[in-house]
Amino acid sequence: MTSKKRTFKFFSRWPKFLRTFFFSILLFFFILSLTFLYFAKDLPRPEVFEERHLAQPTRIFARDGKTVLYTIFGEEKREPIELKDLPDYLIKAVLAAEDAKFFKHYGLDFKGIFRSVLKNLKLRKPIYGGSTISQQLIRSTFLTREKTIRRKIREIVLTLELERRYSKEQILEWYLNQIPFGPNLYGVEVASQNFFGKSAKDVTLPEAAVLASVIRAPSYYYPFSDHREELLKRKNYVLKRMLEEGFISEKNYKEAKEKEIEFKKTPTKILAPHFVFYVRNYLYKKYGEEFLKENGLRVYTTLDWDFQKKLEEIVKEEARRIKKYNAHNISVVAINPNTGEILAMIGSKDYFQDPYPEGCIPGKNCLFEPKVNVAIYGIGQQPGSAFKPFVYATAFQKGYSENTKVLDELTNFGKWGGKYYIPQNYDGKFRGWITLKQALAQSLNVPSVKVLLYFAGIEDSVKTAKKFGITTLNKPPSFYGPSLVLGGDEVRLLDITSAYGVFATEGLRNSPVAILKIEDSKGRIVEEYKPSPLRVERKDVCQKINDILSDNDARSPMFGRNSPLYFKDRWVAAKTGTTNSFRDAWTIGYTKNIVIGVWVGNNNNVPMKKVPAVTIAGPIWRKAMEEAIKRWP
């Protein structure tokens, strides 16, 4: 007897009702299998979760690698956090609110579905879904929210596959990093930061209940909408559910229920804003704005945040003092000359100050424009006598020494630009024969013009300044006249501060740099800075300049023995600069470890009172250098 006949004979012995029931079950599972295959054929693979890209912001850090200066978000504000870093009561609050049996079911909660069906029948509306966390994750990732049988079957199929492939902990971590919490807020970490001003790892029990409460209806329960009272009621409901599930004690429940919630809607944090946007502009040009908003780069900058904070305090304090000189803005840059690393950058006295009083037109007539980064702007800022060291260095290149003498007397240098050029010294006096050391140390104008025209040469002086790092001298050599040595053309504070660093290193040039390292979201290095100094000047030439700019005795006849430039028992070189029209006041100085440049003036180039730079900018530079020496002796 064949096997088919034996099987048929076996089933023929069954009662008719039993045979009918058995084949009905087979038919049901066959139809169910066909249905699953039909709806599953076009579904995405669950492993796409490991391959898919969640938009992550780019974070810009200070050099300590911990202080976040700025975060570049896209349309979705999201900051992933690992499940292990979250407090246990936050996880349990979410479970209590959304899926208490999450760790017990296999993706579907049939009791929950049955309860929701009964409620929907009672209300005659499909309001309650009874979806598990796994179902919500699948729906938000791959499917629409349409309420159709077809979509529900697709959701169930993929949910079962998701549960089969991944651990509960992995699914829950994905869920907490993906779900919406309000306008452009995705994930529990960014929600906590925006609701409470703290990381999700630091929330309290009642705050955890608030976060869990928002998940059900993010737009409605958003804390800064008109439904805060309803949110707080739901918070209490979540706490009660936690109590019922045994997640918290009666005491915890009562204390958390009575605890007042302090919401802190804080704007996007920006530290060292002018520096941050200087870095951001570089990143935008190299990587593109959209890439930065979505790919989670970690940008480690050169900025020393503690030093930056101290300089910001000094600038705000000094901004009040300089008003008596009709000066309304300050910019400061600090650089490590041995690496080119920008340690601090303050582009204006206060980035966040309301800038525009009545009648002020930005870019035209405002004494102070907070958003303008004067350190890199370089339009209309003339260095005055701060340019002289480059001219004297050029003369030293050609064999002249600090002991070479020049005659300081009233001199007509002929016509330049259609006018006779007859410069004056700041104090209106002439000293006869003096050495180049005396002329530079005391910042005398007439001897310096002679050094430019007769010893150094205009074209070669421009070349020296450019190879030191001045980027704005791009006109033909014939354009520049004798006023060049008195700062007759425009410079940027960042450039000239960096250029003075060549003297500090005795001839080595390190271009200013703001970024130490960039990593991608997986910690792989995308870009890393390695210093590569370039020798641009002879050592002996720089040593001559350093000797002059650090000699307090040599500059005392003009500046006095106790000027802001003098540091007792400490080697510090410094130079001031004041433009003839008193539009700009500069002090730039350095040790072997740091260069600091200070500019004071008005954004619209309105002249200040006729006071020398050592009086206006000098005290600011002095305080900044004192702080620097404490850190980098």
Quote the pLDDT of residue 300. 97
Q: 114 falls in which pLDDT band (50, 70, 90)?
A: low
pLDDT tops 70 at residue 8: no
Query: DSSP secondary structure string, 264-285?
Result: ---PPP-SSHHHHHHHHHHHHH
Q: Nearest 5 degrees, angle CA 192-CA 195-CA 201?
A: 20
Identify the weakest region by mean pLDDT among 34-38, 274-278, 441-445, 473-477: 34-38
Give the percent of the chain with pLDDT over 90.
44
Distance in angstroms (rounded) separating the CA atoms of residues 287 and 271? 22
Q: 596 falls in which pLDDT band (50, 70, 90)?
A: very high
Q: What are all long-range contacts of 473-482, with beta carbons under 8 Å and residues at least 24 apart?
A: 481/416, 481/417, 481/421, 482/413, 482/416, 482/421, 482/423, 482/449, 482/452, 482/453, 482/458
What six digits make up the tokens of 15? 């009662």
pLDDT tops 50 at residue 542: yes
Q: Strands 185-186 and 77-78, how do they pair?
A: parallel
pLDDT tops 70 at residue 111: no
| Section 599-603 average pLDDT | 91
| Section 509-513 average pLDDT | 96
| Section 557-584 average pLDDT | 92
Residue of 60, 63, 62, 80 whose CA lies nearest to 71: 60
pLDDT digits (tens, 9 = 90+) for 73-96: 765 677 788 889 999 989 888 888
Where do the CATH 1.10.3810.10 domains begin and end in the chain? 76-258
> Does 180 or 508 have the greater pLDDT score?
508
Quote the pLDDT of residue 127. 41
Where do the CATH 3.40.710.10 domains begin and end in the chain? 308-387+395-402+460-513+533-631
Q: What is the DSSP letter of 85?
A: G
Distance in angstroms (rounded) separating the CA atoms of residues 531 and 410? 47
Q: What is the topology classification, in CATH, of domain 76-258?
A: Penicillin binding protein transpeptidase fold (1.10.3810)
Q: Which residues contact 171 (CB under 8 A, 6 or more apart)?
A: 133, 134, 137, 162, 163
The CATH architecture one would assign to domain 308-387+395-402+460-513+533-631 is: 3-Layer(aba) Sandwich (3.40)
What six digits make up the tokens of 46? 């669950």
| Section 10-35 average pLDDT | 60
Is the CB of residue 447 less than 8 Å from the CB of residue 408? yes
Q: 126 falls in which pLDDT band (50, 70, 90)?
A: very low
Give the chain's length. 633
Quote the pLDDT of residue 71. 83
Distance in angstroms (rounded) separating the CA atoms of residues 49 and 162? 9
pLDDT tops 60 at residue 120: no
> Does 543 or 173 have the greater pLDDT score?
543
Phi, psi of 7 (to 5 degrees): -65, -45
**Residue linked to tokens 């009672």:** 122
For residue 118, CA distances in Å to 97, 111, 115, 126 come to: 19, 11, 5, 10
Phi, psi of 468 (to 5 degrees): -75, -20
Give the CA dihedral 461, 537, 501, 443, nearest 10 degrees: -40
Distance in angstroms (rounded) separating the CA atoms of residues 46 and 60? 33
Q: Which residues contact 206 (CB under 8 A, 6 or more apart)?
A: 235, 239, 256, 257, 259, 261
Give the CB-side neighbour count of residue 297, counting CA atoms within 13 A.
Answer: 25
Quote the pLDDT of residue 12. 60
Distance in angstroms (rounded) separating the CA atoms of residues 481 and 488? 8
Q: Nearest 5 degrees, angle CA 16-CA 19-CA 24?
A: 125
pLDDT tops 50 at residue 125: no
**Residue linked to tokens 């000699």:** 551
pTM over 0.95: no
Distance in angstroms (rounded) separating the CA atoms of residues 64 and 265? 27
Distance in angstroms (rounded) separating the CA atoms of residues 318 and 329? 10
pLDDT tops 50 at residue 58: yes
Q: Which residues of 250-259 are buried (b: 16+ CB within 10 A; e: fewer)?
A: eebbeebbee
Is the CB of residue 383 less than 8 Å from the CB of residue 391? no
**Residue linked to tokens 């030191």:** 468
Quote the pLDDT of residue 478. 75
| Section 339-349 average pLDDT | 96
For residue 414, CA distances in Å to 140, 447, 479, 580 come to: 79, 15, 16, 19
Q: 33 falls in which pLDDT band (50, 70, 90)?
A: low
| Section 379-387 average pLDDT | 85
Identify the weakest region by mean pLDDT among 125-134, 498-507, 536-545, 605-614: 125-134
- In whole numbers, what is the pLDDT of the chain averaged over residues? 84
pLDDT digits (tens, 9 = 90+) for 146-161: 555 655 666 676 767 6
Quote the pLDDT of residue 128. 46
What six digits make up the tokens of 31? 């139809």
Query: DSSP secondary structure string, 285-338?
Result: HHH-HHHHHHB--EEEES--HHHHHHHHHHHHHHHHHHGGGT--EEEEEEE-TT
Distance in angstroms (rounded) separating the CA atoms of residues 602 and 618? 17
What six digits make up the tokens of 204? 């309290």
| Section 511-527 average pLDDT | 92
Is the CB of residue 298 less than 8 Å from the CB of residue 515? no
Cβ neighbours of 120 (radius 10 Å): 16
Phi, psi of 469 (to 5 degrees): 125, 5
Q: Can you give the C-alpha Rg of the chain in angstroms?
A: 36
Q: Which residues of 151-183 are buried (b: 16+ CB within 10 A; e: fewer)?
A: ebebbbbbbbbbbeebebeebbbbbbbbbbbbe
> Does 612 or 219 have the greater pLDDT score?
612
Phi, psi of 72 (to 5 degrees): -95, 100
Distance in angstroms (rounded) separating the CA atoms of residues 587 and 598? 5
Q: What is the DSSP letter of 169?
A: H
Quote the pLDDT of residue 181. 82
Helix locations, 68-221, DSSP H: 88-98, 110-123, 133-142, 149-165, 168-178, 188-196, 205-214, 218-221
pLDDT tops 50 at residue 176: yes
Distance in angstroms (rounded) separating the CA atoms of residues 3 and 183? 67
What six digits make up the tokens of 189? 């970490």
What six digits make up the tokens of 226? 């008109």
pLDDT tops 90 at residue 99: no
Residues linked to residue 420 through DSSP beta bridges, in sequence order: 415
Distance in angstroms (rounded) separating the CA atoms of residues 56 and 120? 38
Give the CB-side neighbour count of residue 234, counting CA atoms within 13 A.
Answer: 24
Q: What are all long-range contacts of 41-50, with beta carbons under 8 Å and residues at least 24 apart?
A: 43/142, 43/154, 43/157, 43/158, 44/142, 44/158, 46/158, 46/161, 46/162, 46/165, 46/166, 47/165, 48/142, 49/141, 49/162, 49/166, 49/174
Quote the pLDDT of residue 304. 97
Phi, psi of 68 (to 5 degrees): -85, 115
Q: What is the DSSP letter of 453?
A: I
| Section 218-231 average pLDDT | 84
